[in-house]
Amino acid sequence: MIPREELTSVVAELNVDREATVAEFLCKLFKGKFIEVYLGDAYEEVSTEQISTTYPAVFSGKVIGAYRECLIMEGSYIDRRPLQTKIEKNITYKSGKQIFISERAIKGLCEVDGSGVVDDIFIRSREAVELKDLAIMGTK
């Protein structure tokens, strides 16, 4: 999580001339950090008889730069190439895939820092009251 003081400082710095784009702002805050970028889509929907669950589609990787309205990431991906036999599969996580994302496509973004991921952030509206009460009491 970006410390509040750092966030306030970056906002104040970029508000001086107001020429920075959202992508440039995000790059300044998250450069070199591992993030998830949610684009508003679902990559999978699992349905049973009475319940349907969607999983948000995200890009993940390290922020490496920005150019105008384009956020540039060194993306991570899953390599599912099969081994020599058809029975076994070699599934490995890799990085190094460059991803160029229009800032206008970004619906949400968060740092992957061990305190929850994008999927954890989506809640039912009824849970918001409980979370508010917990925040007021100062618990996490």
CB-CB contact of 39 with 106 (8 Å): yes
What angle is formed at CA 40 by the lines to CA 77 and CA 140, rounded to 5 degrees? 85
Q: What is the pLDDT of residues 109-134, one digit of tens each?
A: 999 988 877 777 777 788 888 888 88
Q: Taking all residues of the chain, what is their mean pLDDT, rounded to a whole number?
A: 85
| Res. 50: pLDDT tops 70 | yes
pTM here is 0.76
Residue 34 CA, distance from chain mean position: 9
**Residue spans per domain, the chain:** 4-113
Say which residue the tokens 């925040």 belong to.
135
| Res. 28: pLDDT tops 90 | yes
Give me the amino acid identity at 78.
I
pLDDT at 123: 76
Beta pairing partners, 121:
none
Q: What is the mean pLDDT of residues 85-108?
A: 81
